[in-house]
Amino acid sequence: MDQDPWLLKTGLARMLKGGVIMDVVTPDQAKIAEDAGACAVMALERVPADIRADGGVARMSDPGLIEQIMESVSIPVMAKIRIGHIVEAQVLEALGTDYIDESEVLTPADENNHVWKHDYKIPFVCGARDLGEALRRISEGAAMIRTKGEAGTGNIVEAVRHMRSIQSEIRIVTGLPEDELPSYAKSISAPLDLIKDIHTTGSLPVVNFAAGGVGTPADAALMMHLGAEGVFVGSGIFKSDDPAPRAEAIVKSVTHYNDPAIIAEVSKGLGEAMSGIDIKTLKSEDLLATRGW
Amino acid sequence: MSTNEPALKAKIGILALQGDFQEHSSILCSMGCSSVIEVRLPEHLNDIDGLIIPGGESTTISKLIENYDFTTSLEDYYKENNPIWGTCAGSIVIAKSAVGLEPWKPLNFIDISIQRNGYGRQLDSFQTSLTINKLTSKSAFEGIFIRAPKIISVGKGVEILSVLDNQDPVAVQQKNVLATTFHPELTRDFRFHQLFLDLVSKNLLDQIQDE
């Protein structure tokens, strides 16, 4: 790698802002997502709800499937690798995938180290529960951040918790006097240079999306109100009764998140949302958000 | 820039259906524009003196334009000769014809044919120094091309403001409509935004003279 094309990597995430990125498992679903107004798709063998139900080790999807999905749509295609799996990252780069999600939804390959993402020309998105985690990923080269939420549950509560944490910690950093920044950086295990950057700008240096548990247009709009710059929808669309209208409704609710009348209108008659899981009933070993550090 | 420039007091709209509209509005605010409006519904176009259509996904933006009778309002806005500038996805949305935008139709505000993702996928995104005619200073402008569209032909009456080394046009103008296939809004170089504001100012002064 001769250079880290940071502006091109973070720039693509900026083009996705105000949009919805949808999990798809077939080229047909990808087409439905594109027609519904998705700004990108995440190509997968199984959506998180099925990964959760099936158990076992979840890995990168079949490159053949990812390629078919790339051929079926003209919008950017993302795909997931296991945390720390350098070779899965190299494979997706060789395929020419547009974005890599180093994702806790798959079974981690390395419990200590994430991929050193500066080494790749393809940009990465990573999950985070709080500001410290977001900044650790950015220092490793993540060009986009998303909340972890709790994928495959259809329950928005964890994504809300994570987005609120990130935003409130940003407000704390902005309000601190300069000489207290090192101690605060230490307390949340964040690199000091990035903390200083936030102190000056008042925002993350990369785009921050919501993910993990979005099931309805109102969920998506809620995350936008809390400071998300766009939304990932995993199981929420293709695990619902009638995916196409729900996908379209979620796209509109993200654009018009400040307009309750429109959200009311688009939410009518969508049929059953995916069935959800109360996080409190999950055993700690079944929680995906605690994977990675 | 002169502080009494009409464009600074004008209402500049940025189509905010999807994409990097905040990047544009943050630059305009830094330049001293006092009224920057996020346009999400047709009625937000009322009294707008200049409109920017940002980068983003052109399929998503086109789909959302189809809703709420936006196409008609944008056409009316264009017919009144108001300044319009499309960047990247925005340049696709305003083109005469757009390869790869199907089933959506472009708005036909500028006589160019354009191909979506004309240079390839994200791995083919690139950064290059451009020379741009009409800019007040002639130093190079950093062109950021992200899954950029390619202008494959331009009609008579379209002025080419900048080309790549291979002579592909990347910045074009027809009367009050500008299109760039790169992203000035991702840089801290305000000269292209100034060029647009100059169009807005000139248009406002012309309107006053007409009255």
The yes-or-no answer on residue B33 being catalytic is no
Does the structure show a pLDDT above 90 at B122? yes
Residue B200 has pLDDT above 80, yes or no: yes
pLDDT of residue A274: 84
Which residues of chain A lie closer than 8 angstroms to B18, CB-CB? 17-19, 37, 39, 254-255
Q: Return d(Cα A41, Cα A30) in angstroms, integer.
A: 7
More confident residue, B67 or A245: A245
**Which sign, positive or negative, has the C-alpha torsion B20, A83, A158, A238?**
positive
Taking the Cβ of residue A19 and every Cβ of chain B, the question of whether any pair is shorter than 8 Å is answered with: yes
Picking from B17, B24, B25, B57 by the largest number of A CB atoms within 10 A of its own CB, the best residue to mutate is: B57
Q: What is the value of ipTM here, to two decimals? A: 0.95
* A169-185: pLDDT as tens digits: 999 999 999 999 999 99
Q: How confident is the model at residue B4 (pLDDT cuts 50, 70, 90)?
A: low
The C-alpha of A98 sits at a distance from chain B's nearest C-alpha, in angstroms, of 5
Tokens standing for residue B76: 């009316």
Query: For position B209, what pLDDT does the model report?
Result: 83
Does the pLDDT value for residue A55 go beyond 90?
A: no
pLDDT in tens, B86-113: 999 999 999 999 999 999 999 999 999 9
> Residue B74 and residue A189: Cα distance in Å, rounded?
49
Q: A29 Cβ partners below 8 Å, 6+ apart?
A: A238, A243
What's the pLDDT at A4?
52
Q: Which residue from A minimizes the CA distance to B89? A: A15
Picking from A65-69, A172-176, A237-241, B96-100, which range would have the lowest pLDDT averaged per residue? A237-241
**Considering chain A, what is the average pLDDT of its residues?**
95
Tell me the catalytic residues of A.
80
- Which of B5, B33, B44, B185 is the catalytic position? B185
How many other C-beta atoms are found inside a 10 Å radius of the C-beta of residue A139? 14
Inter-chain CB proximity B183 and A11 less than 8 Å: yes
Overall average pLDDT of the B158-164 stretch: 97
| Annotated catalytic residue B24 | no
SS3 category, A164? helix
pLDDT at res. A107: 95
Q: Select from A92, A109, A112 the least CA-distant residue to A101.
A: A92
Predicted local confidence at residue B7, as pLDDT:
83
What pLDDT does residue A175 have?
98
Task: Please provide the DSSP assignment of B75-110 as one string.
Answer: HHHHHTT--EEEETHHHHHTEEEEET-TTS-----E
Strand pairing category for A207-209 and B50-53: unpaired
Interface contact flag, A76 B22, Cβ < 8 Å: no
Other Cβ atoms less than 10 A from the Cβ of A269: the count is 8
Q: Which residue of A has its CA nearest to B103?
A: A35
CATH for B4-210 (3.40.50.880, 3.60.20.10, 1.10.10.10, 3.60.90.10)? 3.40.50.880
Contact: B40, A74; criterion CB under 8 Å? no
Q: Bigger pLDDT: A287 or A2?
A: A287
CA atoms within 13 A on the CB side of B211: 6
Q: What value does the mean pLDDT take over residues A269-291? A: 89
Of the residues B5, B33, B88, B193, only one is catalytic, namely B88
Section A147-163 average pLDDT = 95
The helix (H) or strand (E) run that includes residue A264 is helix A260-267
CA-to-CA distance for A100 and B53, rounded, in angstroms? 28
pLDDT at A1 over 50: no
Report d(CA A134, CA A127) in Å as an integer: 7
- For B66, phi then psi, to 5°, come to -65, -25
Closest of B120, B47, B20, B199 to residue A206, by C-alpha: B20
Asked whether the beta carbons of residue A74 and residue B59 sit closer than 8 angstroms, the reply is: yes
**B18/A93 CB distance under 8 A:** no
pLDDT in tens, B45-82: 999 999 999 999 999 999 999 988 899 999 999 999 99
Q: Calculate the dihedral angle through the C-alpha atoms of A52, A45, A5, A181, rounding to the nearest 10 degrees.
A: 0
* Position A3 pLDDT exceeds 60: no
Local structure of B126: helix, strand or coil = strand
Residues in B touching A43 (Cβ below 8 Å): none
**Chain A residues touching B20 at Cβ < 8 A:** 14-15, 17
pLDDT at residue number A12: 98
Is there a contact between B19 and A19 if contact means CB atoms under 8 Å apart? Answer: yes
Q: How far is CA B138 from CA A287, B160, B182, in A?
A: 57, 16, 18
Instruction: Calculate what percentage of chain A has a pLDDT beyond 90.
Output: 85
pLDDT category, B208, cuts 50, 70, 90? confident
In B, what residues contact A, Cβ < 8 A?
16-23, 40-41, 55-57, 59-60, 63-64, 67, 88-89, 100, 103, 116-117, 121-123, 125-127, 144, 146-147, 183, 186
Q: What is the pLDDT of residues A86-134, one digit of tens each?
A: 999 999 999 999 999 999 999 999 999 999 999 999 999 999 999 999 9
DSSP A79: E
- Which among B162, B170, B163, B174 is positioned nearest to B199, based on CA atoms? B174
Q: CA of B121: which chain A residue's CA is closest? A: A98
pLDDT at A2 over 50: no
Residues in chain A: 293
Q: Do A19 and B21 lie within an 8 Å CB cutoff?
A: no
